[in-house]
């Protein structure tokens, strides 16, 4: 029982016992005094009805009747019409307790109903936000695909010509020209990298979903990331619990998680600890969490981190998290972000288990 309820229950019992004590302790007093005491019983009954609703109103009024009735026989010394009238009047305790309790019960029920409605509205507003984001991402994906194709061919020609001129400059000893051409090649490669990211974002391959060992998939990723993490003085800790197989495209899911691991490592400029966990969330979902001790994300930036081409990193394409978000959505999963500037960021992926997806598909057919 909550502490507040314990306090209210104690108060009700003390009031009932106190008022009863006044009745039995002043038996010789005039009846007008006992009539006053009797009216005091309404206070604990109403309190009980408000705090404990119908059950509280009924039990407290019944308890008052049980304690009060013997006092009438003790005071009057016989059972006559006067005592019966007093008992009938005391029956108002039950009426007040039950009616007040019922009204309190109805008020509580409506309050819960209102809370559920508010919660549903908030969820609908979140389903709506995700829909708008998906539509925006789809439109940007089509635009990105068109731009990428228009730029990729000219870039290929530029790189081929610069490589040819670079070789000629090295043969003729024109070092300054060779250096400039080297910069052109480097920037062309960087532009191609951006274009590849745009194409990955705009035209993702269809998922090849099948039961996948999540722990094995993440262990393989960690083996790949160890060398890079050492270069950045980042320690990787993993807590991979055994969970049922995920319904996933292993390669695409690896790509999504790797983007988050890379972001986490790069965010820790002075080193730190990157934590990767896998656990079963419920009968339908598994949960993967990547937590870093990096710079964190401020409140102004946080709502935009999944927007295409939005980046705070020098030389970043702004597509890594967009691609990750799309991959998780294609798995019918969700991704949450919890970040504190200066302390770090945690990305949590909620992914369906294979058995749940199989049962769902069977039900849909």
- Report the CATH number at residue 253: 3.30.565.10
pLDDT at 205: 67
Of residues 109 and 150, more confidently modeled = 109
The verdict on 166 and 223 lying in the same domain is no
The verdict on 75 and 131 lying in the same domain is no
Residue 345 has pLDDT above 90, yes or no: yes
The verdict on 166 and 214 lying in the same domain is no
The verdict on 21 and 149 lying in the same domain is no
The verdict on 19 and 144 lying in the same domain is no
pTM of the model: 0.50
pLDDT at 50: 86
- The separation between CA 281 and the C-alpha centre of its own chain, rounded to angstroms, equals 12
Least confident residue range of 182-191, 249-258, 278-287, 342-351: 182-191
The verdict on 220 and 353 lying in the same domain is yes
What is the average pLDDT value for the chain, to the nearest integer? 82
- Whether residue 342 lies inside any domain: the answer is yes
pLDDT at 361: 39
Residue 176 has pLDDT above 80, yes or no: no
The domain boundary, picked from 36, 64, 90, lies at 90
- Whether residue 215 lies inside any domain: the answer is yes
E strand spans, the chain: 210-212, 234-240, 246-248, 272-280, 285-291, 334-340, 344-352
- Whether residue 306 lies inside any domain: the answer is yes
pLDDT at 363: 39
- Whether residue 120 lies inside any domain: the answer is no
The domain boundary, picked from 202, 228, 256, lies at 202
Quote the domain boundaries for residue 165: 127-202
Distances (CA, A) of 143 to 24, 131, 213, 317, 325: 88, 19, 36, 16, 18
The verdict on 196 and 318 lying in the same domain is no
Number of domains in the chain: 3
The verdict on 220 and 179 lying in the same domain is no
- Whether residue 98 lies inside any domain: the answer is no
Which run of H or E residues covers position 177? Answer: helix 175-202
- Whether residue 192 lies inside any domain: the answer is yes
Residue 162 to residue 189: CA distance in whole angstroms? 12
The domain boundary, picked from 202, 225, 247, lies at 202
- Whether residue 270 lies inside any domain: the answer is yes
The verdict on 288 and 216 lying in the same domain is yes
- Whether residue 336 lies inside any domain: the answer is yes
- Among 149, 278, 285, smallest CA distance to 216 is for 278
Query: What mean pLDDT is predicted for residues 58-81?
Result: 86
The verdict on 319 and 193 lying in the same domain is no
- Among 253, 264, 257, smallest CA distance to 229 is for 264
pLDDT at 141: 63
Distances (CA, A) of 180 to 165, 183, 186, 187, 223: 10, 5, 10, 11, 38
pLDDT at 360: 42
Sheet holding 234-240, edge to edge: 234-240, 272-280, 285-291, 344-352, 334-340
pLDDT at 29: 82
The verdict on 358 and 217 lying in the same domain is yes
Residue 123 has pLDDT above 70, yes or no: no
The verdict on 246 and 293 lying in the same domain is yes
């Amino acid at each position: 029982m909550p502490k507040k309820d314990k306090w209210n229950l104690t108060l009700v019992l003390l009031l009932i016992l106190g008022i009863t004590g006044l009745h039995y302790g002043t038996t010789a007093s005039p009846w007008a005094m006992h009539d006053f005491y009797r009216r005091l019983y309404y206070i604990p009954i109403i309190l009980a009805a408000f705090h404990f609703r119908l059950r509280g109103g009924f039990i407290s009024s019944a308890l008052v009747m049980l304690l009060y009735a013997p006092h009438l026989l003790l005071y009057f010394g016989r059972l006559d019409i006067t005592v019966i009238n007093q008992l009938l009047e005391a029956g108002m305790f039950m009426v007040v307790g039950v009616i007040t309790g019922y009204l309190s019960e109805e008020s509580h029920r409506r309050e819960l109903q209102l809370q559920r409605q508010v919660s549903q509205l908030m969820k609908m507003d979140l389903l709506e936000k995700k829909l708008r984001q998906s539509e925006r991402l789809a439109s940007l994906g089509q635009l990105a695909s068109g731009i990428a194709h228009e730029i990729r061919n000219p870039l290929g020609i530029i790189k081929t010509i610069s490589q040819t001129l670079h070789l000629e400059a090295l043969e003729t000893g024109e070092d300054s020209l060779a250096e400039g051409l080297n910069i052109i090649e480097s920037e062309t490669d960087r532009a191609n990298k951006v274009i590849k990211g745009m194409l990955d974002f705009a035209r993702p391959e269809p998922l090849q979903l099948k039961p996948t060992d999540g722990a094995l998939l993440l262990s393989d990723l960690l083996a790949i990331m160890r060398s890079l993490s050492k270069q950045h003085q980042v320690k990787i800790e993993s807590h991979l619990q055994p969970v049922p197989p995920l319904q996933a495209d292993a390669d695409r899911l690896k790509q999504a998680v790797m983007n988050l691991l890379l972001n986490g490592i790069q965010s820790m400029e002075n080193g730190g600890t990157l934590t990767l966990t896998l656990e079963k969330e419920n009968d339908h979902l598994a949960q993967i969490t990547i937590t870093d001790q990096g710079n964190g994300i401020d409140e102004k930036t946080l709502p935009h981190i999944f927007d295409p081409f939005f980046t705070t990193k020098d030389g970043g394409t702004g597509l890594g998290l967009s691609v990750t978000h799309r991959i998780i959505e294609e798995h019918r999963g969700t991704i949450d972000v919890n970040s504190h500037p200066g302390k770090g960021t945690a990305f949590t992926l909620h992914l369906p288990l294979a058995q749940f997806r199989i049962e769902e598909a069977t039900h849909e057919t």
